[in-house]
Amino acid sequence: MRVVIAEDLALLREGLVALLRESQIEVVAQVEDGPSLLRAIAGHKPDLAIIDVRLPPTYSDEGLLAAIEARRRQPQLGVLVLSQYVETAYASELIGGDTAGIGYLLKERVGDVRAFLDALHSVAGGGTVLDRQVVAELLAPRNGATEALSGLTAREQEVLALMAEGRSNTAIAESMIVTPGAVEKHITNIFAKLELPACNDDHRRVLAVLTYLRVSR
Amino acid sequence: MPALAAGLSIGEYARSLVRRLAFLSSVLVAAIWALSGQGYFWPAWVWLGLGDLVLLDFSASWAWRQQRGAVRRVACVWALVGAAAVILIFTWLLTWLLAGAQRFWPAWALLGLATSGSAYSLIALHDRVLVARGRRALRARIDLLTRTRRQAVDAQAAELRRIERDLHDGAQARLVALTLQLGRAELRVQDQPEIRGLILDAQREAHHAITELRDLARGIVPPLLADRGLVAAVESLSARYGLGTAIDARTRGGLAPAIESAAYFVIAEALTNTVKHAGASSSWISLVDEHRSLLVVVGDDGRGGADPLGSGLAGLRARVEALDGSLYVESPRDGGTVLQARLPCAS
């Protein structure tokens, strides 16, 4: 896997580079702002870009805009956006029409190295990874627009949240301390309750999470 | 009475009648003098008397038109002094013309009149000059205070945003780098559960610190407000509350940070109250530029009865008033709640 990193804080950037090299992931370029990110992507044609939301010069949402632009130019590129805070509005903008190869995580998730590397592979492979905080916000009880999800039990919502983080069934089973068989049963129930069309399972997993995004917008 | 028909008051009509009578009498006495064999020109004295009457009338009415109080009193004094001076000079002129040359006897009287008039003016207007000077100084002071308070509020808002940014990009980012290093260390000690446990504990602590810093920064300035401005922040806020709030934003943006923050916290407090207390089925927000102010209105159709002196609203009022704004709450029982804040935008 070939990766470009856009992060302005040297300490974190170097940590990420070291971590990826240790994990046999090739870092082809490290940049500090949006325009150089776009140049690096055009030049190196990486599989994945890891992008900080706040980049110079204004430190607001350049990273997000650069990620969206990079995807527009190169739709098969996986982008993993890291942020100090999560906004469901940003998640919606980032996903736009196409959910494949999109990740949006809180920065501190890099600390859980194994889960972070899983997320990298998942996004580079066309998966969708949303931070559990975004998912929690999306699943929070509210007055309208929740009929689609109101039928889910608490346990099923928990499974849905973990699915949205890009975890495998085995990982979900481990974290909930249940058998993989029980997780599969929950997932089948979720698909049924959300009336998702029968297609490949990975795609349905993403659709399950995004059902809420669509309904709530 | 034709003059009355033309819209004159009775007083004005009487005055114009007096002027006409004076003119007619002057002509009449001159005719009588001419018909009665001429000789010593006595009608001049009648003219002087009638002229004095008209002169006094004019000067008195001029004085009366002045501003009430000291200015009018001074004008009355000068009207009298002026009329007396004119009368004296004309009397002297007549005696000189009719009886031959003599020294200018009204000189001392004129000097006395002018001196006493000036003295009276100085005394009467002295207070006024002082008051005017005091008022000017006061106005300058108010202008200065208003300006510096605004600068202080703006500087504080800018400083808060800088702190928010520093928290995110400084301490928080370093803690993230720390958790990453701890994560890498943890990978290397899989076979030493004791050390691994310590590392995981350290990582948990770092996570708590990051979360606390994030909550702190969010309380200072919500990041979306700093990054994308008021309208985006309000949209996100209302989405988070999930009330299906209708938002009508007609503001050209480019607001001062202090105004944006105040508007945001007004809306946040109003929506919190709506969620907690109102039991509303619909709510709305409008943001409109109006007369160089930002008008923020948040309403719902809930059960009303909000206490405008409650701590939340009192805090908001203080915040809004520090910007020379105003806050109104209308919340009749069972009649919904409307909260309106007007925030003047310094040009």
List residues bridging with B343 in a β-sheet. Answer: B294
Q: Which helix (H) or strand (E) holds B71?
A: helix B70-99
Residue with tokens 């009475």: B1
SS (H, E, C) B225-257: HHHHCHHHHHHHHHHHHCCCCEEEEECCCCCCH
Same domain for A143 and A92: no
The predicted-structure confidence for B170-184, as pLDDT tens digits, reads as follows 899 899 999 999 999
Least confident of A130-139, B45-54, B239-248, B303-312: A130-139
pLDDT of residue A204: 64
Query: Encoding tokens for residue B251?
Result: 């503001």
CB contact under 8 A, A84 and B173: yes
Same domain for A169 and A117: no
pLDDT above 70 as % of chain B: 97
Is the pLDDT at A22 greater than 70? The verdict is yes
Is the pLDDT at A215 greater than 90? The verdict is no
Give the CA diameter of chain A: 50
pLDDT of residue B141: 95
Amino acid at position B200, single letter: L
Angle between helix axes A154-164 and A169-176 (nearest 10 degrees) is 130
CB contact under 8 A, B187 and A113: yes
pLDDT of residue A67: 93
Same domain for A32 and A123: yes
Same domain for A149 and A119: no
Same domain for A185 and A122: no
Residue with tokens 């909930």: A176
- Mean pLDDT of chain B, nearest integer: 87
Confidence of residue B238 (pLDDT cuts 50, 70, 90): confident
**What residue spans of B248-323 are helical by DSSP H?**
257-273, 311-321
Indicate the pTM of the whole model.
0.67
To the nearest whole angstrom, how far is the Cα of B344 from the nearest Cα of chain A? 26
Cα atoms found within 13 Å of the Cα of residue A53, Cβ hemisphere only: 26
Looking at A93, A108, A130, the residue that finishes a domain is A130
Domain ranges of chain B: 2-105, 143-220, 227-344
Is the pLDDT at A170 greater than 80? The verdict is yes
SS (H, E, C) chain A: CEEEEECCCHHHHHHHHHHHHHCCCEEEEEECCHHHHHHHHHHHCCCEEEEECCCCCCCCCHHHHHHHHHHHHCCCCEEEEEECCCCHHHHHHHHCCCCCCEEEEEHHHHHCHHHHHHHHHHHHCCCEEECHHHHHHHHCCCCCCCHHHHCCCHHHHHHHHHHHCCCCHHHHHHHHCCCHHHHHHHHHHHHHHCCCCCCCHHHHHHHHHHHHHHHHC
The CATH number assigned to the domain holding A72 equals 3.40.50.2300
- In sequence order, the 6+-apart residues with CB closer than 8 A to the CB of A150 are none
Query: Encoding tokens for residue A133?
Result: 């905080």
Is the pLDDT at A217 greater than 50? The verdict is no
CB contact under 8 A, B244 and A112: no
Looking at A111, A130, A149, the residue that finishes a domain is A130
Least confident of A139-153, A173-187, B157-171: A139-153
Is the pLDDT at B72 greater than 90? The verdict is no
Confidence of residue A205 (pLDDT cuts 50, 70, 90): low
Which chain B positions have a beta carbon within 8 Å of A114's beta carbon? 187
Q: Considering CB atoms only, which of B214, B242, B244 is closest to A85?
A: B214
The predicted-structure confidence for A103-147, as pLDDT tens digits, reads as follows 999 999 999 998 899 899 989 988 888 888 877 776 665 544 455
- How far apart are the C-alpha atoms of B96 and B169, rounded to whole Å? 100
Confidence of residue A80 (pLDDT cuts 50, 70, 90): very high
Same domain for A122 and A155: no
pLDDT of residue A105: 93
CB contact under 8 A, A137 and B240: yes
Confidence of residue B7 (pLDDT cuts 50, 70, 90): low
Query: Encoding tokens for residue A77?
Result: 């590129």
For residue B275, the 8-state DSSP code is I
Which chain B positions have a beta carbon within 8 Å of A112's beta carbon? 183
Please give the CATH architecture assigned to the domain spanning B227-344. 2-Layer Sandwich (3.30)
Read off the pLDDT of each residue in B187-192 and give the average, rounded to a whole number. Answer: 93
DSSP 3-state of B281? coil
The question of ipTM being above 0.90 is answered as no
Looking at A65, A95, A130, the residue that finishes a domain is A130
Is the pLDDT at A149 greater than 70? The verdict is no
Angle between helix axes A169-176 and A180-193 (nearest 10 degrees) is 110
Interface test with B, best of A113, A116, A131, A134 (most B CBs within 10 A): A113
List residues bridging with A26 in a β-sheet. Answer: A2
Same domain for A118 and A152: no
| Residue ranges making up the domain that contains A19 | 2-130
pLDDT of residue B254: 80
Same domain for A145 and A179: yes
Do residues B179 and A110 touch, judged by C-beta distance below 8 A?
yes
pLDDT of residue B8: 65
